[in-house]
Amino acid sequence: MSTSLEHLAAVAAAGVPGLAPVAVGPSPDDDADFRSAVVLDASGRRWRVRSPLSPEASVRLETEHLVLRSFTPAVRSRFPFLVPTAAGSVADGDLHAFVHSHIEGAPLDIDALARMAADPDPEHHRHVPSADPPPTLTVQLGRLLAAIHALPTALVLDADLPGYTAEQCRQRHLAELRRAADTQRVPAALLRRWERVLEDRAVWRFQPRVVHGDLQEDDLLISRGRVRGVTGWTDLHVGDPAEDFAWLFAARDARLAEGVLEAYAAACRRTSFQAPDREPDPHLLERARLDAELALAQWLVRGVDRGAQDLVADAEQMLATLEQDVARRPDPAPGAAAPEGAPETPVRDGIPAATAPDPAPQDPDQAGAESGRRGGTADQ
């Protein structure tokens, strides 16, 4: 199957009636799973086309298409950002490619984003027609996450998307830990560290919420210091809100995660905001850190499963670096939140995504949900 830019432009034209491409360019994406392009049509509108490279990736794109179609105008009005509009789909070889509206802006790498959050450029706000100072990028990220987590769980469950209790989230992580341990390539100190967190009853008492599920810097479209849009809705589900914070630990500046959590908590306290909770649970960042570290183990398992020695070597090196980093800082006591400002080992280039605890509180909308898991207007 051809994946050239010209081929993707032709796919977009086939998927959207009346679309006449006049130009096409690359679009950032996970090169292991998708090929993507931005297509300019004769009327000046831009469209994003994504073609999967495997049946699994195709299922994820189908899920995203379903999610975007479920975002009614009322749902979209809840967001302080734009989301793409599903425009069409078309067979591309044995799989299906999907076309969505394109949103202005471009992703930044995680450290550039952290620098912008710590030191905003005044030029970005010089022409903002408002008497109030515009929110910093940190505040925008906190409000962004709070808005996603405030969505009604029925939106996800009624679309037959996955929903998990707190205990199911813990069990899924335990399964990931066992698979990593079975490779016999993960440092024992890391396995013990992860097991302690997973066996801590207090850490896993949280209210499941709607989560993006695969959030990373590549999904944020930034323009002049503003988060214009959020993409990558392939893994929307009900689960642990900490999942949407894990990507923040990729930044060299450890203050980013703490700052975003502070802004998130402030958004939750606003009476005018449809907040998910009055306060985030005290162990949210501890679970987010676990999620970020386990992503390295998942990368290792992926390499082992594929027989890709370069991926295995890369993952082993990162795990060794993480082991050294963890050894240099104190481990939080069981049931205690992690210390603020603790240095973190970066997780880069999109590398992912016991004793029974007391029953976790459960959202009424989610009761009885089965276990299972992922995968505006046009040119807004």
| 250-274 pLDDT tens trace | 999 989 999 999 999 999 887 555 5
Tell me, yes or no, whether 123 lies in a domain.
no
147 and 94 fall within a common domain: no
Q: Is residue 345 domain-shared with residue 246, that is, in the same domain?
A: yes
Same domain flag for 53 and 198: no
Question: Quick one: 158 and 68 in the same domain?
Answer: no
pLDDT of 295 > 70? The answer is yes
Q: How does strand 21-26 pair with strand 46-52?
A: unpaired
Residue 6 scores a pLDDT above 50: yes
Residue 4 Rama label (left phi>0; alpha psi -120 to 50; beta): beta
Query: 94-107, pLDDT tens digit by residue?
Result: 899 999 999 989 99
Nearest alpha-carbon partner for 105 in 17, 217, 226, 22: 226
Count structural domains, the chain: 2
pTM for this model (two decimals): 0.81
Query: Does any domain span residue 114?
Result: no
Give long-range contacts, CB 8 A cutoff, 24+ apart: 190-198.
Answer: 190/293, 190/297, 190/319, 190/322, 190/323, 190/326, 193/293, 193/326, 193/331, 194/290, 194/293, 194/294, 194/297, 195/354, 196/331, 196/334, 197/286, 197/287, 197/290, 198/170, 198/173, 198/174, 198/290, 198/354
| Lowest-pLDDT choice from 27-36, 45-54, 255-264, 351-360 | 351-360
* Same domain flag for 232 and 351: yes
- The residue with greater pLDDT, 135 or 334, is 135
Residues 166 and 35 in one domain: no
Q: Is residue 131 part of a domain?
A: no
Average pLDDT over residues 69-90: 93
117 assigned to some structural domain: no
> Average pLDDT of 26-39?
83
Domain with 56 in it: what CATH number?
3.30.200.20
Lowest mean pLDDT among 87-91, 305-309, 330-334, 337-341: 337-341
In angstroms, the CA 266 to CA 146 distance is 9
Question: What is the number of other CB atoms lying within 10 angstroms of the CB of residue 247?
Answer: 27
Give the pLDDT band (50/70/90) at residue 329. Answer: confident
Residue 163 lies in a domain: yes
> Do residues 81 and 143 both lie within one domain?
no
* Across 6-10, 110-114, 313-317, 344-348, least confident range: 344-348
> For residue 310, is pLDDT > 70?
yes
CATH code at 272? 3.90.1200.10
Structure tokens at 284: 């949210």
Q: Where a domain ends, among 76, 101, 126?
A: 101
Decide if pLDDT at 364 tops 70.
no
Region 158-185: what's the mean pLDDT? 96
Q: Is pLDDT above 90 for 48?
A: yes
Q: Which residue among 55, 77, 101 closes a domain? A: 101
Domain range enclosing 23? 5-101
Mean pLDDT score of the chain: 84
Are residues 287 and 212 part of one domain? yes
Is residue 224 one of the residues assigned to a domain? yes
